Structure 1
Amino acid sequence: MKLSILDLISVRKGQTTADSFAASKQIIETADKLGFVRYWVAEHHNMPSIASTMPGPELMYLGQGTERIRLGSGGVMLPNHAPLAVAELFALLSAVYGDRIDLGIGRAPGTDPVTSAAMRGHLGEGRMVDREGNTIDPVQQFPQHVIDTLSLMQPDGLRVPLHGGREHVLKATPAAVPGTQPLPWLLGSSGYSARLAAELGMPYVFANHFASGATTGMKIYRDNFTPGAYGDEPQTFVTANVVVAPTEEEAQLRSEPFMLQMSRMRTGGPMEKLHLAGEDVRSVMSDGERMVGEELASNWIIGDPKSAAAQLEELAERFEVDEIMIQPIAGAMDGEDLREDPGRTQTIELLADELLDPADALNTKERLNTVVDA
């Protein structure tokens, strides 16, 4: 099995943004050494528990020192951005990191409606309009903006028609070395994105970590896939929320801070930095929040190493994929270093021991030397 990582760069009580990025730096370095395939960061806005707002700049920092893991966005929420801005940013990443950049693209806003409007310059009287003055909804333009973004990263660029029959050629700069353009992925949690990815011949990822319906989405994508520039066969995998610890009891304990956070998102409760596992979260979690949280967690993978590995293998078999992108959601405990995330790092290491080929990891001596140097 191939394993990859989705990171929201979580922020817990007591942490600064700098602390959370230091913890995520440790996570990507660990994943790189253990043989994980990809490390993707998300785009969310105005959420106290999430520091990942701008995938491009974050990857430029977090990727430093890595040797082989693919770096990507999970994803760039395209309605929040101009296609040329996205294309140029990921062209720059490819210029720095070569052929290991993934551009994951999503259609959702990644935030609340007011913040979404602010991202798009629509607060107050600000708005986007077409040539006739009609208001433009970036979400409705999503398919064309995907096509434009992909075209801008190609050697021939995008031809923009002008008045008088003339054309202007736009290309993302800096130009990537041929063969190192970012590999685009369409992210989705519904049949809409699955169908669009199939139509465009793009790789596709179903967001199983927060949505149901992966079976339907996968079937739509595979049944309608059109071979194209990105391959003759469908490329796909699914995501999953995962907590792994030496014991089932510790895994359940470390899952509760994220459980509280997700239940509050569903019920409109107060959004805060993540609570600590143990008394800190249990002292504030209501019975109603626990009930909602446990219902959500029924789709997560929580357990000891062998149990979690078996669940991941079953998930891969169910959706006929050979890669799972885990979101390690293990909470921290009181007294743990603020610039580290031991629960999430532990999840990664324990799964690697169970599922990854040791030959894919850097040799043990080199790993130990890296830890000592750090």
Structure 2
Amino acid sequence: MVPLSVLDLSPIVQGGTPGQSLRASRELAHAAERLGYRRYWLAEHHNMTGIASAATAVALAYAGEGTSTIRLGAGGVMLPNHAPLIIAEQFGTLEAVFPGRVDLGVGRAPGTDQLTARALRRNLAGSVDEFPQDVLELLAFLRDPAPGQAIRAVPGSGSNVPVWILGSSLFGAQLAAALGLPFAFASHFAPQMVDQASAIYRAEFAPSEYLAKPHLMLGLNLVAADTDEEARILFTSLQQAFINLHRGQPGPLPPPIEDYESLAGTLAPGGPLSKAVVGGPETVRRGLADFIARHRPDEIIVTAQIYDQAKRIRSLEIAAGVRDALAPAA
């Protein structure tokens, strides 16, 4: 069976606080480990009143507390917002605390609006056009230091934290292939180019010191519940959030509504949520099997913006059961 991982945005729900969200994320990481998920990743966003993971490395350290086996990572750090040395130090620190368990996914989007991006960087001199060079600089800080190297990331130098390229377009696929790095495509919100990006990554991949063959991970919105009806209702929180974001009114994650038919337009073919798998165990089994058969990922990273924390964990439990049921017999 294709391994499953977890992507968390540490959602702030309506009526909730960032502290509650971060404690819920820590609980989710523990649950993901218990259920046999391979990785637990957090995503960097800024000036988003519905997302608590802006300080991604700090949030990862907190979420990872008490776990012992699951890999912890960024899905991802938006590298144009930061000096590569700072990120090497942050994730080198995480590697020192959680040895052999840290991933670093990097993307070239700002993870916010342009005004906030300027506030983050003080200027926009570090642009997305410099992303490939920033990745190379980051890799250099994380590998074993060269003789006479004047600047080292401490911690970080020699940690060899695995770096992933994240993308929602063809650019990331091409860069990951050229550098011989693992690639994670954001098909959970940008499904239109998943087939083309996957094909380019696999066809153009150049073996490297980091990876001998391509490793493709795809994002998937997966909301599971004990019945199809309950899952469709739970999914309306994310549907409402996407509508609000499209209207330029992002905010905390809204509670679910029972009238899910009124939100059916968010599932239009080619739309951002069109590949979502939503339903009870049997529906999820079919949806997950179909997704794997069509796209042939090496790994899937599932995400579920569910208002109720207990139901969010229950969704992971059901998905893990489906994963195990789909696994070939030994």
TM-score between both structures, scaled by the size of structure 2: 0.92
Structure-1 separation of matches of 2:244 and 2:301: 24
Deviation at 1:292, TM superposition (A): 4.3
Question: Following superposition of structure 1 onto structure 2, how do residues 192-203 of structure 1 map, counting pairs within 5 Å?
Answer: 192-203=171-182
Structure-2 separation of matches of 1:112 and 1:168: 36
1:170 matched to 2:151? The reply is yes
Query: Which letter maps to 1:351?
Result: A
1:78 matched to 2:58? The reply is no
Aligned to 2:313: 345
1:261 matched to 2:229? The reply is no
1:222 matched to 2:166? The reply is no
Structure-2 separation of matches of 1:266 and 1:147: 34
Deviations 1:12-65 (A, max 9, x none): 112111111111111110110111000000001111111111221111111111
Structure 2 counterpart SS, 1:140: helix
Deviation at 1:69, TM superposition (A): 0.4
- Percent identity reads 37
Deviation at 1:263, TM superposition (A): 1.5
Checking the alignment, whether the CA contact within 8 Å between 1:35 and 1:356 is kept in structure 2 is no
Structure-2 separation of matches of 1:169 and 1:223: 38
Deviations 1:131-190 (A, max 9, x none): xxxxx3421111000000010011125x9xxxxxxx7522211256x6x52111000011
1:46 matched to 2:25? The reply is no
Moved more, 78-87 or 316-325: 316-325
Deviations 1:164-223 (A, max 9, x none): xxx7522211256x6x52111000011111001111111101110110211100111111
Question: Following superposition of structure 1 onto structure 2, how do residues 227-246 of structure 1 map, counting pairs within 5 Å?
Answer: 227-246=207-226
Aligned to 2:253: 274
Count of aligned residue pairs for this structure pair: 322
Aligned to 1:8: 9
Query: Which letter maps to 2:154?
Result: T
Structure-2 separation of matches of 1:294 and 1:264: 15
Deviations 1:201-258 (A, max 9, x none): 1110111011021110011111111111112101111011111000111101001111
Unaligned regions of 5+ residues in structure 2, if any?
none
Deviations 1:62-82 (A, max 9, x none): 111101100000000000000
User: Which of 296, 301, 310 matches 2:286?
Assistant: 310
Moved more, 317-326 or 107-116: 317-326
Higher Cα Rg, which structure? 1
User: Which of 134, 137, 149 matches 1:145?
Assistant: 134
Structure 1 counterpart SS, 2:103: strand
Unaligned regions of 5+ residues in structure 1, if any?
128-135, 160-166, 333-340, 360-374
Checking the alignment, whether the CA contact within 8 Å between 1:12 and 1:274 is kept in structure 2 is yes
User: Which of 296, 308, 315 matches 1:320?
Assistant: 296
Structure 2 counterpart SS, 1:114: helix
Deviations 1:100-133 (A, max 9, x none): 10000001111111111111112xxxx6xxxxxx
Query: Which letter maps to 2:101?
Result: R
Structure-2 separation of matches of 1:99 and 1:244: 31
Query: Which letter maps to 1:211?
Result: A
User: Which of 177, 189, 194 matches 1:210?
Assistant: 189
Structure-1 separation of matches of 2:80 and 2:32: 30
Structure 1 counterpart SS, 2:6: strand
Deviation at 1:271, TM superposition (A): 2.1
Checking the alignment, whether the CA contact within 8 Å between 2:7 and 2:40 is kept in structure 1 is yes
